[in-house]
Chain A
Amino acid sequence: MKEKVGEMTKIYKLENLGCANCSAKMERKISGLKGVEEASVNFFSGKLILEMIDEKDFNVLEIEKAVEKIIKKIEPQVIMKKV
């Protein structure tokens, strides 16, 4: 019932998140990305927790780029930073 946080989990800080509904939208869109197992955006702590499927088959940098694109599209003022 619980997945352990593995090496494929990356955490990012999202600064200037504007609204809770937008965070929910981001979370949904990012979860749908290829190579992403699960994404979770916490509006309050401004953290994006990204669980990726396998680094061998998917390029982390490419996923990050796609994620950033989604975020910028929903809320252009948000800055994504690695933790």
Chain B
Amino acid sequence: MNKRLIQIILAALIYIPTFFIKPETPLQILLFVISYLIVGGTILIKAIRNIKTGNFLDENFLMSIATLGAFYIKAYPEAIAVMLFYQIGEYFQDYAVDKSKKSITSLMELKADHANLKTENGIKITDPQNIDIGSYIIIKPGERIPLDGIITEGSSYIDTSALTGETLPKEVSPGSDLLSGCINLSGLLVMKTTNTFGESTVSRILELVENASSKKSSQEKFITKFARYYTPIVVIIGLAILIIPTSIQGLSSLNTWLYRSLAFLVVSCPCALVVSIPLSFFAGIGTASKEGILIKGSNYLEALAKVETVVFDKTGTLTKGVFEVRKIVTFNNFNKNEVLEVAAYSEAHSSHPISQSLKRAYGIKIIEERIQDVNELAGLGVIAKVDNKSVTIGNIKLMDQENIDAFESGEERTIVHVGIDGIYAGYITIADELKTDSKKTVENLRELGVSKIIMLTGDSSISAKKTADELGILEYHGDLMPIDKLNKLEHIIGYQNKKGKTVFVGDGINDAPVLARADIGIAMGGIGRDAAIEAADVVIMQDEPIKLTVAIKLAKRTVAIATANIILAIGIKVIVLILSAFGFASLWMAVFADVGVTIIAVLNSLRLLRRKGI
């Protein structure tokens, strides 16, 4: 058990019986003193030590003076109560801090504690921190991958869920990249490391979260500034309340005014304020990291609560970034399989995403011998011989050129026409698929009060329109080069209401300048991409846009709780100060205004750690 808790319980056990003993007997006073020393001894020692170093006005000093003063005017029960409750408040605070720390350290489990290094003398178990680039390490089934690298031997399934939230295991084989933090599920793997532990994916993630609160929110800045002036001012007023009336009314009134001024000392502690506001943000960032949302500072969490404009990159963010065959339409009695087969065969040698999608849709291994005379025509398509049939595959221009009577569908997608032996066989439409949660994300953002949702893309305006219509996005800009995206964002921010914030969400590929320019740059699924982690203010580990709405909701809750804490703590303190100046408040109330408020504020902050309602 915690030392502080033991002190509190012991002191309370001695303190409680005093209420049943005849007041101001030597026995009662003895019990008071013992109880006081148990619970307040360490505070007194700290106070004395701090006076030596010239630190007045810290909480130890204020509490010591207030309680000793209470002893002087024979307000014994109050003196002990002040100390006792002060310690209870501190205990609560520690508990709360611990709890939010734990929510962050649950991420620490990403770290592997050892690596099996391959050496000339066999396998050596070492700390991942001591392994050089280019070393070979062995990862057994069930082990966490300690460093980033490339597989040289073995194949297996790996669990990437800790990094990406993806629950399906990923198949890996020699040549595949491995990211530290993933778990090897089935086979034995040999991997060549590509960076040191310090630069590994895991280290970067941990660093990002641990150093998160270096950038402070305006609420945190306000409260530390407030505390800086609040304590001295309240102490001075407290002294004035003691000195001015007693010098007018004479020493006989000393006890009355001293009692009131002691209340001021108790209330003057800035603790509740200073601890509860950063705690709210700390808890908010901790909860977010549990959700796979890494926020680089409380200022960004605060900004997320004020988002008015969300700018999405299209490919890879709202869409899967993978082209897929959507539809096959046949003519002249050709069947779908036939059309797809010849298309996949003729495009077999191309690495273009569209060719890849045809091969994937076909799904059967290509037999090289069936293809002959491949002729790639830039900007048009391919003419090749498949099974000695002449295949013409490409856009409408190529069909015209080859005198094939193609059907013009007018669809807003990429269309590949197929001609076999000079006869039109049909067309295949290919499109990038929307992520399943994209539409819901757009809807939820609107509900959250985001007034403008904009989509930017390098794709054609026609395909941009198609995606925007499907998602219900009203403003979109297509045909943008990376530099145009930056200019567009500048333009959007220029039109933005000063208080509202603009978010840019991208996949971190080629959009680092845009991520950096936005009020909040969010990289999605960016784990393993250095530039994205570096340039972004928020990293969403999973490839799910819906997490943006989770982040905004959480940010709004955090800011609301922090604001409530500021109002509550300052409000109650001011009320109690006014009451005690006029003699309406007791030291009991002063204790409540200090410790009670701390506890309420801390508990209020801890609500953020509960996932309910996000």
Candidates B59, B211, B216; contact of A21 at CB < 8 Å: B59
Residue of B275, B278, B516 touching A2 (CB-CB under 8 A): B516
**B185-229 contact mask (Cβ, 8 Å, vs A): 1 or 0:** 000000000000000000000000011011110000000100110
List residues of chain B with CB within 8 A of the CB of A22: 58
Q: Which residues of A contact B278 (CB under 8 A)?
A: 20, 42-44
Q: Which B412-434 residues have C-beta < 8 A from chain A?
A: none
Q: Once bound together, how far apart are the Cα atoms of A77 and B58, in whole Å?
A: 15
Shortest CB distance A81–B (Å): 14
Given the known interface contacts A2-B516, A20-B278, A49-B211, the answer about A44 and B101 at a Cβ–Cβ threshold of 8 Å is yes
Which residues of B in the span 484-527 have a Cβ within 8 Å of any Cβ on A? Answer: 516, 519
B55 at the interface (CB under 8 A from A): yes
Question: For A40, what are the chain B residues with a Cβ–Cβ distance below 8 Å?
Answer: 213-216
Contact digits for A7-33, partner B, Cβ 8 Å, 1 yes 0 no: 000010000000111101001100000
Question: Contact check: which of A4, A21, A49 meets B214 at CB < 8 Å?
Answer: A49
Q: Are B224 and A24 in contact (CB under 8 A)?
A: yes
- The answer to whether B213 and A21 have CB atoms under 8 Å apart is no
Q: Shortest CB–CB separation between residue A27 and chain B, in angstroms? A: 8
Q: Residues of A contacting B216 with CB < 8 Å?
A: 40
Shortest A11–chain B CB gap in Å is 7
B residues in contact with A20, CB < 8 Å = 271, 274-275, 278
Residues of B within 8 A of A43 (CB): 97, 275, 278
Mark interface residues in B91-114 (1 if CB within 8 Å of A CB, else 0): 000000100110010000000000
Contact pick for A24, options B100, B211, B227, B516, CB 8 Å: B227
Take A21-B58, A22-B58, A76-B53 as given contacts and tell me if A44 and B274 are in contact as well, using a CB distance cutoff of 8 Å.
no
Contact flag A47-B210 (CB < 8 Å), given A21-B227, A24-B274: yes
Cα-based distance from A42 to B220 in the complex (angstroms): 11
Tell me if A19 and B534 are in contact (CB < 8 A): no
A4 and B534 contacting across the interface, CB-CB below 8 Å: yes
Bin the interface of chain A by size.
20 to 34
Residues of the A chain whose Cβ atoms lie less than 8 Å from the Cβ of B279 = 44
Contact in complex: B100, A2 (CB < 8 Å) = no
Q: Find out whether the CB atom of B214 lies under 8 angstroms from the CB atom of A42.
A: yes
CB distance from A24 to the nearest CB of B (A): 4
Q: Name the one of A28, A45, A73 contacting B101, with C-beta atoms under 8 angstroms.
A: A45
Q: Which of chain B's residues has its CB closest to A41's CB?
A: B214
- The answer on a CB contact under 8 Å between A73 and B274 is no
Cβ-neighbour of A19 out of B54, B59, B215 (below 8 A): B59
Interface members, chain B 15-74 (any A CB < 8 Å): 49, 53-55, 58-59
Contacts of A66 in B (CB 8 A): none
**Cα of A34 to Cα of B397 in the assembled complex, Å:** 70
Q: Does residue A79 face the partner (Cβ distance < 8 Å to B)?
A: no
- Are B213 and A42 in touch, CB under 8 angstroms? yes
B381 interface hit (Cβ, 8 Å)? no
Please, which residues of chain A bring their CB within 8 A of the CB of B101?
Answer: 44-45
Question: A4: shortest Cβ distance to chain B, in Å?
Answer: 7
Contacts of B97 in A (CB 8 A): 43-44
Considering the complex, give the chain A residue whose CB is closest to the CB of B46: A18
Which residues in A have some Cβ–Cβ distance to B below 8 Å?
A: 1-2, 4, 11, 19-22, 24, 27-28, 40, 42-45, 47, 49, 73-74, 76
Can you give 5 A-B contacts (C-beta < 8 A)? A19-B58, A20-B271, A21-B59, A45-B213, A74-B55
**14 further A-B pairs in the complex, CB-CB below 8 A; given A2-B537, A20-B274, A73-B54:** A4-B534, A20-B271, A21-B227, A22-B58, A24-B228, A40-B215, A43-B97, A43-B275, A44-B279, A47-B210, A47-B211, A73-B55, A76-B49, A76-B53
